[in-house]
Amino acid sequence: MSNIILTGDRPTGRLHLGHYVGSLKNRVKLQNESNYDDMFVMIADAQALTDNFDNPSKVRDNVIEVALDYLSVGIDPNKVSLFVQSEVSELTELTFYYMNLVTLSRLQRNPTVKSELSLRGFEGSIPSGFLNYPVSQTADITAFKANIIPVGDDQLPMIEQAREIVHSFNSIYGDVLVMPNAVLPKSTLECRLPGLDGKAKMSKSLGNCIFLADSEEEVRKKVFSMYTDPNHIRIEDPGSVEGNMVFTYLDVFCKPGDFEKYLPEYKSLDELKAHYKKGGLGDVVIKKFLNNILQEELRPIREKRKELENNIEYVYESLKKGTKHAREVASKTLKEVKDSMKINYFEDPSYLEEIKNKYKQQ
Ligand code: TRP
């Protein structure tokens, strides 16, 4: 069996550090391993329209922003097909046939859909397109026969729904679709990096993000505004590291060698934490340390982005090339799907034979 990787994001804003640790870093790692046959990363503009249908220019503007973010973190369009969902119309066609295999109540029970409905105030009058997006996501996955779907844990109900549809399709029409598997980030922290305010997951709508495209100064300002321990008022006061975002981020981003380079007075994160807990360590020191670490991580991404912004046609051509390949693959699958459903009247020569025989004059 071949290994096909597929994943994607809705283009509703620039990507941030949460996306970076939760998925982008891992995608770059995956693309550089050689144990897969094909890899796709999709810009899910059609899905983004299911809850932004009244704001199409937001989606349009962010298609290229997200593509820039992908390429700046190191996704290589020669290894990965980067594509735009709406340009692969086969996906919409597959969605229509899969809709027969899902009940309304099953969609309404999907936990991700449920929480998004309440977040968007859609509960009273649910747009059917929105309710149906898990079905369209099943099309995204199955069109490429993807078996490896690297996602955050919020997407587990989507993959579960896709698995049910695949099972149901294959048992009715024959074994055509491939069963997808979700692959989650290693740690829960990486799965959902909290925002700068420590309140919830980093998210654009909550305004608690560091964006990959932020300037050095913006990143510094944001790090210095991070939520630490409100009871740690004077340097001498003992401080708490739990729920302290600077330490949470250090847990995620601090690498061997960082102390030597930026804070040689300490040997390890444990030692730094112990001092903070005991008292006598100010927030400015730990924030400066985190800022240095994040700047080192983000600098090459920012520089790559600048380079790509000056060569935007390359980004556009990469998307176009990836989309072309995606269409070729998806149209093959669509053909198999339609063959198995017996809706291939003009492609299947035996159809004419069948009807000729049936209506032959006796
Ligand atoms: N729902 C995903 C998100 O909100 C984006 C997405 C669309 C996706 N289709 C997909 C992810 C298929 C993985 C596989 O981020």
pLDDT tens sequence across 296-313 = 999 999 999 999 999 999
> Is 6 close to ligand 1, i.e. is its CB under 6 Å away?
yes
- Name the burial class of residue 284, with classes exposed (0-12), middle (13-18) and buried (19+) by CB atoms within 10 angstroms of its CB: exposed
Please determine, for residue 362, whether its predicted confidence score (pLDDT) is greater than 70. Answer: no
What pLDDT, on the 0 to 100 scale, is given for residue 199?
A: 84
Kindly state the tokens that stand for 310.
């000056």
| Structural domains in the chain plus CATH codes | 4-193+312-354 (3.40.50.620), 216-308 (1.10.240.10)
Residue 1 has a pLDDT of 81
Closest by CA to 47, choosing from 164, 161, 105, 132, is 132
Pick the atom of ligand 1 nearest to 6's CA: 14
pLDDT of the residue at 49: 97
Tell me the CA distances in angstroms from 258 to 26, 275, 287, one per residue in order. 21, 17, 14
The pick from 62, 158, 181 for probing ligand 1's pocket by mutation, whose C-beta has the most ligand atoms within 8 angstroms, reads: 158
Cβ of residue 48 lying under 6 Å from some atom of ligand 1: no
Task: State the pTM of this model.
Answer: 0.94
The two three-digit tokens of residue 63, written as one number: 């298609």
**Ligand 1 atom closest to Cα of 150?**
13
Residue 257 alpha carbon to ligand 1 centre in Å: 36
Q: Which amino acid, 311?
A: N
Instruction: Kindly state if the Cβ of 51 falls inside 6 Å of ligand 1.
Output: no
Distance 236 CA to ligand 1 centre (A): 47
